């Protein structure tokens, strides 16, 4: 069974974290060594124990492509499309910033998640309408 689809068909969005080296690191050699380790080979296989790998052979080696729960997600990667709203130059300012601010309030101030997301959506709508 696949993931739910809407009237326009299948679509999926994937948020992927990445690794980088801070330009002001005090130990660039160690940072580079870690980045090389985590990006390929044994390091990538180890990281895949904690997050979905971008490497198809690792996904297959882990059996995620045929796993009851992860299989549909892996199969649906073919339907990944950009979030339409992210195509505006104001996405970060009008959508991400209010979302992050309100999500932080959930964790740091105990704000109710529904209230926080309602406030983020209202702020995003107002910001986008003003552009």
Residues 67-92 have pLDDT tens digits of 998 898 888 888 777 766 667 789 88
| pLDDT score for 54 | 78
Q: Give the per-residue pLDDT at 41.
A: 87
By CB atoms closer than 10 A (0-12, 13-18, 19+), residue 124 is buried
Task: Specify the pTM.
Answer: 0.50
Distance CA 120, CA 114 (A): 10
The most confident of the ranges 45-49, 52-56, 108-112 is 108-112
CB 37 within 8 A of CB 30: no
Q: What mean pLDDT is predicted for residues 18-41? A: 90
- Where are the domains positioned within the chain? 28-79, 84-129
Q: Is the pLDDT of residue 2 over 70?
A: no
């Amino acid at each position: 069974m696949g993931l739910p689809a809407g009237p326009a068909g299948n679509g999926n969005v994937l948020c992927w974290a990445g690794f980088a080296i801070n330009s002001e690191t005090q130990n660039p050699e160690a940072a580079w060594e870690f980045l090389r380790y985590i990006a390929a080979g044994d390091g990538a296989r180890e990281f895949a124990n904690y997050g979905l790998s971008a490497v198809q052979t690792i996904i297959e080696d882990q059996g995620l492509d045929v796993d009851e729960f992860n299989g549909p997600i892996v199969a649906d990667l073919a339907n990944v499309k950009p979030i339409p709203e992210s195509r505006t130059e104001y996405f970060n300012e009008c959508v991400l910033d209010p979302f992050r601010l309100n999500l932080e309030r959930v964790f740091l101030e105990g704000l109710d998640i529904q209230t926080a997301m309602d406030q983020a959506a209202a702020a995003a709508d107002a910001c986008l309408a003003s552009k």
